[in-house]
Amino acid sequence: MRDGERMGLKLLSTGVPGLDKVFGGGLPEYSFNLIAGPPGAGKTTLVHQLTFANASAERPALYFTVLGEPSLKMLRYQQQMGFFDPEKVGTVIRFIDLSREVLSATPGALLDSIVQHVEQTNPAIVVVDSFRTVMRAHVGGDMELQGFLQRLALHLTSWQVTSFLVGEYSDGEMSNNPVFTIADGIFWLTQSRERNSVVRKLEVMKMRGQAAIPGLHTFRIGPQGIQVFPRTMARLPGSEELPQRRRATVGVPGLDELLGGGLLAGDATLVAGPSGTGKTALSTHFIAEGVRHGERGVLALFEEHPEEFLSRATEMGFDLEAMVRQEQLRVLYFRPLELSADEVLHEVQQAVAQIGAKRLVIDSINGLELALSPSFREEFQESLYRMLGALTGGGVSVLLTIEVVESFDKINFSPHSISFLAHNIIFLRYAEIDGQLRKVLTVAKMRRSDHSQYLYGYEVSSTGMRVTAPLTGYQGILTGVPTARRIEPEAWPGLTHRERTVLDRLLALREAPAERLPEATGMQPPELSRALARLVELNYLVAVEEGGSVLYRPIARPLGQ
């Protein structure tokens, strides 16, 4: 190597989905790695998957085991995994059972046997599995066992091989066991039971030459083997540039006007309300409106079954099933009670990336929290923060629904403080007005946009959701005990109740085209036209023609203001 040159590390793919990312790109070739953890954590499955992924005619593997059972019996279970290739067994992967040597030979003779096998076959991969546990009962003491393992580790590091030493170690040994010092990589696997949930995690304690992702990473053992879900805030492709601050319209008649023209693209919006207030209806409008404008979407459902959700959308006039068939919409359904936040994020990000989605609905936060295993519920706020950061950072507009507990004197969003994570909050609730149970909506927060400060009535019917008129005639609505506000006749001299309603609505909107006012006021066109004409005549409004449309603007304020 010439002066000034650096020798790069050749990286081997682990063959474990998600693990290369945790390792910082892959496993360094010729490294000596220690895989530690308690029984049942997945150590043997992990090293088998690594071995089968990398063993070949050019890179043969030797696998030493002292499990005290025939290698054939051990492989009988591993061959159920998707990574298992029977053609490699006995050819490019040789399994050597040394359980008899452990019982009859000294540690020195056992080490000589391992060295002899390695020198005879010249492998590129060497695995020594479970020696420590089995040998402890057959050697003179811990000191003799420790000496054997240290000499074995020195051999593994001196050979031109990628090697793995698999064993059960305690956390306290990290500081006083020389094997940990010699190792290039240390991978710690854990397994914990929480009520009826089993959570497996992997941590890279040490990784020479690589910038591994720190922390505990959840993994699952399934039919295909191990899959790791990296604990990271990696953003979606294209997230290096900030998304343009365009508007993402919601599609609910009358609502986009209250939002200043729609939600800002790349924002996270929380839709909160009690059961039955229309949260799902609003999210259906949002996802269908995106597809109508060429923005594909993802529905992440944690409560309602997809068939029920799609059927209800069809009744409202939204053919979401056709959108799914045309790859404009992807529907994910999560129901297990032992998910990790990283697993959910992985599935959602994968779906978003596969179809190039720009909109995501999570229905609901309550269901998401329930689907997580108990340990992840304890850190729910931090998990949600990482999830939203990864998604909105890629320009995806996220709408989350949450069911709130409502009483007459207070409203509880969640046992966790999560409202600060959302850029926008739309709040839905019930209120008794004039002896009727009415639905009330308000835009409680928009972080980077002007929005209406008024409370509005709205309706949810078989055709969807629509915002009606502002509830300017009442006060105390959010307390659950609204009272009619007394309107002094002299405040709007000469106006009828309907004319005052139109004027109040226009004062809230500042201006509006004539064609939008029927939805905004809830009035029929003939009576609306008469009211507008009277308001113009009395100099409460001015009508301005712009771009072929008539805009109405209020020019008056109530007397005394």
Kindly report which listed range (111-125, 143-157, 276-290) carries the lowest average pLDDT score.
Answer: 143-157
> What residues does 551 pair with on adjacent strands?
513, 544
Does domain 490-554 fall into CATH 3.40.50.300?
no
Alpha-helix runs per DSSP H in 105-204: 107-121, 131-135, 142-158, 178-182
Other CB atoms within 10 Å distance of the CB of residue 320: 24
Question: Are both 11-229 and 490-554 of the same fold?
Answer: no
Query: How far, CA to CA in Å, does 47 sit from each of 73, 126, 252, 560?
Result: 17, 10, 54, 80
- Phi and psi at residue 389, in whole multiples of 5°? -65, -40
Report percent pLDDT > 90 for the chain: 37
Query: How far, CA to CA in Å, does 522 sit from each of 66, 93, 249, 517?
Result: 80, 76, 21, 8
Alpha-helix runs per DSSP H in 183-304: 255-258, 279-292
Place of tokens 């050697």: 139
Domain boundaries, the chain: 11-229, 247-483, 490-554
Kindly report which listed range (30-39, 173-182, 255-264, 532-541) carries the lowest average pLDDT score.
Answer: 173-182
Give the C-alpha separation, 172 to 490, whole Å: 82
What Rg value do the Cα atoms of the chain yield, rounded? 33
Is pLDDT larger for residue 495 or for residue 367? 367
pLDDT of 105 > 50? The answer is: yes
The predicted pLDDT at position 23 comes to 95
Taking the model in full, what pTM does it have? 0.73
- Phi and psi at residue 88, in whole multiples of 5°? -85, -20
Question: 252, 465 in Cβ contact below 8 A?
Answer: yes
Is pLDDT larger for residue 282 or for residue 6? 282
The predicted pLDDT at position 242 comes to 46
Question: Positive or negative CA dihedral for 300, 302, 306, 310?
Answer: negative
Give the C-alpha separation, 248 to 261, whole Å: 8
Predicted confidence (pLDDT) per residue in 326-369, tens digit: 999 999 998 766 677 788 888 898 999 999 999 999 998 888 88
Query: Is the omega angle on the peptide bond into residue 397 within 30 degrees of 0, that is, cis?
Result: no
Amino acid at 357: A
CATH superfamily, domain 247-483, is P-loop containing nucleotide triphosphate hydrolases (3.40.50.300)
Q: Which CATH class is domain 11-229?
A: alpha beta
